[in-house]
Chain A
Amino acid sequence: MNVLRNEFAKLRHLHLVALAASMTAGIVALTVVGTMTGDAAQHASALSLAGLSLAFPLVSPLMIAVVASRTIDIEHHGNGWLLSRATGVTLGELLRAKVVSAGLVVTTATVVAVSLGALLGGTKPLWTWLGYAGAMVVVNLAVLTLHLTVSTLAVNQLISLGIGVLGTVVAICASGFPSWLAHLTPWGYYALASAADYRGDHVMTLSPSYTSVAGLAVVGVALFLFVTARLDRQEFLA
């Protein structure tokens, strides 16, 4: 528990709240633009969901990469891995705590963005909005966990940020991918979780692929626990 409290304490002065707020602002701004392109009177909710479904893959991957990089870089620069290790806290334990602390920031930003989108378009159908919010939280947390792990293993944070840029491209293009291809990377799930899309000039609501998102959650958690269990046993190499 103290490890987790320390992770929240370390977030001070890192400007993560500002970063998360700018992620939310970016998503909402793009959603507002999206709602202006169609018949907002009749399809406000669908337009808002479509705007969000376009905005999340555009904004989230890179912003999450930056959040992860800032969270981990302080350990590389402050010799924090060694400090925690010398106090008996393992690398895996520290990484798990970081997923919780940074995850809370990203989850809050995601929920606020979807909530503002709902305010713009109306919350009906409510279950679609709740399902979409849940799906986006899962996808964003999966991407965050991946970036935190990469940032831990690769001292050079440009690698993680580069993957973030690549992820943005994949996330944007994934709506055009065949379904099997979209399943192969966490960024493909932004497309699989889309709650609305345009068919020609018409916007229509879709059912996010909850099974795929649930699969991502299960595989993501299993992989993360496997990797951190290995890190728990790993020697200190730096």
Chain B
Amino acid sequence: MDIVRTHSLVKRYDNHTVVDDVNLAIPEGCVYGFLGPNGSGKSTTMKLLLSLIRPTSGEVEVFGRPMNSDTRRELLTGIGSLIESPPGYGHLTGAENMKIVQRYLGSTDDQITRAVATVRLQDQLNKKVKNYSLGMKQRLGIAMALAREPRLLVLDEPTNGLDPAGIEEIRALLKHLAEHGVTVMVSSHLLGEIDKTANVLGILSEGRLIFQGSRDQLLAASTPDVVIDILGSDNPNSTAEQQLRDRETLRIPSVDDLHTAHVVGELVASGAGVYGVRRDEQSLDDVFMNLTSGGRL
């Protein structure tokens, strides 16, 4: 079952379309990696999911119910979120901040204790938040999001500004939450930050969802360049040494297997010394970069 679905979601400011016909499907219990370059519309989409902003057209469905001004208050009780920078009143301690969240949400003391323990912040709660490091602020923000023990957790670039150890800690936390049945939607502009954690990936580029599926599906869906190695000279009198010295490599993008066979056949028919045909090896990072720079698969 999908815990979040969007139907042709569009958000437009004046003439600028920020989110363009996005159809998200987030399965329950997964870690959904929401990827895209800066400015691609990730935060706006997340705000639409939380009903912080209204869609220009389209619909958001959360827990099988439409999210709108009538249902948002009730549906939000099942959603924890951390959007943009982590919240926290600097003049108050971590404990006082958590108390404020507890009152907003009507959470129990046990829920607050568990949320704080999950992000391992219990020893820092008596410090004022203005004295927290960025990592501690992020953890406090996540604790606030966890305070209602949500079914769905929406985290907007939670690793922003964190050092590698902090990033690893967030990854471990996301895995831990998913193992405990929480559906996590986490955004990032860096694939490497979340591809090891996410079971499902959604890639946004210029407001459009250009891919949605598993890591393997992403690799399969992208078509790597075909690379053809050809001996250098078509002069029948040239020596083998000359031919090897002048060899060339042809790179052909976006061709399927049938078209590749056709190209190779034509080369051979024209007398070219084809000695190698292969697909270029691509890392997931390459695929992501190609997708987001081109804006399509």
User: Given A14-B91, A74-B89, A84-B104, are A9 and B53 neighbors across the interface (CB < 8 Å)?
Assistant: no
A74-110 contacts to B, CB under 8 A, are 74, 77-80, 82-89
User: Given A79-B84, A86-B83, A88-B76, are A74 and B100 neighbors across the interface (CB < 8 Å)?
Assistant: no
Whether B68 is near chain A, meaning CB under 8 Å from some CB there, is: no
B103 adjacent to A79 (CB under 8 Å): no
B101 adjacent to A83 (CB under 8 Å): yes
In the complex, chain B residues whose CB is within 8 Å of the CB of A87: 76, 101, 104-105
Whether A199 is near chain B, meaning CB under 8 Å from some CB there, is: no
A236 adjacent to B89 (CB under 8 Å): no
- Closest Cβ of chain B: how far from A212's Cβ, in Å? 38
Contact with A along B90-123 (1 / 0, CB 8 A): 1110001001110111100000000000000000
User: Given A79-B84, A82-B87, are A9 and B99 neighbors across the interface (CB < 8 Å)?
Assistant: yes
B81 adjacent to A86 (CB under 8 Å): yes
In the complex, chain A residues whose CB is within 8 Å of the CB of B90: 74, 77-78
In the complex, chain A residues whose CB is within 8 Å of the CB of B79: 86
A236 adjacent to B52 (CB under 8 Å): yes
Which secondary structure dominates where chain A touches chain B?
helix
In the complex, chain B residues whose CB is within 8 Å of the CB of A233: 69
B87 adjacent to A80 (CB under 8 Å): yes
- Closest Cβ of chain B: how far from A124's Cβ, in Å? 44
Question: Considering only CB atoms, which chain B residue lies closest to A2 in the complex?
Answer: B103
A89 adjacent to B92 (CB under 8 Å): no
Whether B85 is near chain A, meaning CB under 8 Å from some CB there, is: yes
User: Given A9-B100, A10-B100, A89-B104, are A83 and B91 neighbors across the interface (CB < 8 Å)?
Assistant: no
- Closest Cβ of chain A: how far from B263's Cβ, in Å? 52
B76 adjacent to A86 (CB under 8 Å): yes
B100 adjacent to A6 (CB under 8 Å): yes
In the complex, chain B residues whose CB is within 8 Å of the CB of A89: 104
A82 adjacent to B101 (CB under 8 Å): no
In the complex, chain B residues whose CB is within 8 Å of the CB of A78: 87-90, 129
B52 adjacent to A82 (CB under 8 Å): yes
Question: Considering only CB atoms, which chain A residue lies closest to B105 in the complex?
Answer: A87
Contact with B along A1-43 (1 / 0, CB 8 A): 0110110011011100000000000000000000000000000
Question: Considering only CB atoms, which chain A residue lies closest to B54 in the complex?
Answer: A235
B104 adjacent to A3 (CB under 8 Å): yes
A235 adjacent to B53 (CB under 8 Å): yes
A12 adjacent to B52 (CB under 8 Å): no
Whether B215 is near chain A, meaning CB under 8 Å from some CB there, is: no
B84 adjacent to A82 (CB under 8 Å): yes
In the complex, chain B residues whose CB is within 8 Å of the CB of A10: 89, 92, 100
Report how far A14 CA is from B92 CA in the complex, Å. 9
- Closest Cβ of chain A: how far from B88's Cβ, in Å? 6
User: Given A79-B85, A83-B144, A88-B73, are A13 and B52 neighbors across the interface (CB < 8 Å)?
Assistant: no
Whether B175 is near chain A, meaning CB under 8 Å from some CB there, is: no
Contact with A along B61-90 (1 / 0, CB 8 A): 000000001001100110101011111111
In the complex, chain A residues whose CB is within 8 Å of the CB of B86: 79
In the complex, chain B residues whose CB is within 8 Å of the CB of A84: 104
Whether B47 is near chain A, meaning CB under 8 Å from some CB there, is: yes
B88 adjacent to A13 (CB under 8 Å): no
Contact with B along A176-200 (1 / 0, CB 8 A): 0000000000000000000000000
B103 adjacent to A80 (CB under 8 Å): no
A13 adjacent to B76 (CB under 8 Å): no
Whether B18 is near chain A, meaning CB under 8 Å from some CB there, is: no
- Closest Cβ of chain A: how far from B90's Cβ, in Å? 6
Report how far A122 CA is from B73 CA in the complex, Å. 54
Report how far A74 CA is from B100 CA in the complex, Å. 13
- Closest Cβ of chain B: how far from A171's Cβ, in Å? 30
- Closest Cβ of chain A: how far from B131's Cβ, in Å? 13
- Closest Cβ of chain A: how far from B245's Cβ, in Å? 64
- Closest Cβ of chain A: how far from B58's Cβ, in Å? 15
User: Given A3-B104, A82-B52, A86-B81, are A9 and B87 neighbors across the interface (CB < 8 Å)?
Assistant: no
A86 adjacent to B52 (CB under 8 Å): yes
B89 adjacent to A80 (CB under 8 Å): yes
B87 adjacent to A79 (CB under 8 Å): yes
Question: Considering only CB atoms, which chain A residue lies closest to B53 in the complex?
Answer: A235
In the complex, chain B residues whose CB is within 8 Å of the CB of A80: 87, 89
A86 adjacent to B89 (CB under 8 Å): no
In the complex, chain A residues whose CB is within 8 Å of the CB of B53: 235-236
Report how far A50 CA is from B101 CA in the complex, Å. 47
A13 adjacent to B81 (CB under 8 Å): no
Whether B209 is near chain A, meaning CB under 8 Å from some CB there, is: no
Chain B interface residues toward A at CB < 8 A: 47, 50, 52-54, 69, 72-73, 76-77, 79, 81, 83-92, 96, 99-101, 103-106, 128-129, 144
Chain A interface residues toward B at CB < 8 A: 2-3, 5-6, 9-10, 12-14, 74, 77-80, 82-89, 233, 235-236, 238
- With A13-B92, A80-B89, A86-B79 already in contact, 4 other A-B pairs whose C-beta atoms are closer than 8 Å: A13-B91, A79-B86, A86-B76, A87-B76
